[in-house]
Amino acid sequence: MRHLPDLPRHADGVFVEDTAVVLGNLAILARPGAESRRHETETVEAVLRGLVKRIVKIRGPGTLDGGDVLRAGKTLYVGLSTRTNAEGIRQLTDCTVADGFTVRAVHLKGCLHLKTAVSMLGDGAVLANPAWVDLAPFSDYRVIRVAKGEPFAANSLRLGEELLYPAEHVLTAELLRAEGFAPILTPISELAKAEAGLTCLSLLLSA
């Protein structure tokens, strides 16, 4: 685990996931859809240069937030949102195809990022709020729907064999247990006030 320096002028800097997409030895530096967040990528780039072999950047007019990129093996599902546009998705496609990745655009409505609406649980399943995301691209997965009254409950974080899950969404956590998962409950109530989920708070690097 590595902590980056504080960014007092960038209150959203804690949501470090949005600054980059890391795929093994390739890192794609994002161009956040919110202009106020674009300087956040500078400190992230400095750290990534010592951790990956190749860095590419999303260029304007493209925009891309890491929270809109959901990886499943060699497939990248990318939310077409208010923060990620079609040009950003095109550039992401161009810079990952040589590494064998397929990019699939996913339409959103009513939420900020794709991972607010759907996340990978493992074992061929996704957790989703179908009111906020077009689930057609996920037709090959078993879809577990969030509990009624918990619209923000679709964000989970898979770390190896462990599934971290926000402690605040108690009904959906029970659904996950009934489906055979063992969520490790993690309190994030203050961060959730900014529509944050567990995935927002880190960049995951694979060996």
What are the strands of the beta sheet with 183-186, ordered from one edge?
157-159, 162-166, 183-186
* Omega before 130 within 30 of 0, i.e. cis: no
CA distance 94 to 102: 10
Q: What is the dihedral of CA 30, 34, 36, 37, to 10 degrees?
A: -30
Give the catalytic positions in this structure. 113, 200
Pairing of strands 102-107, 118-122: unpaired
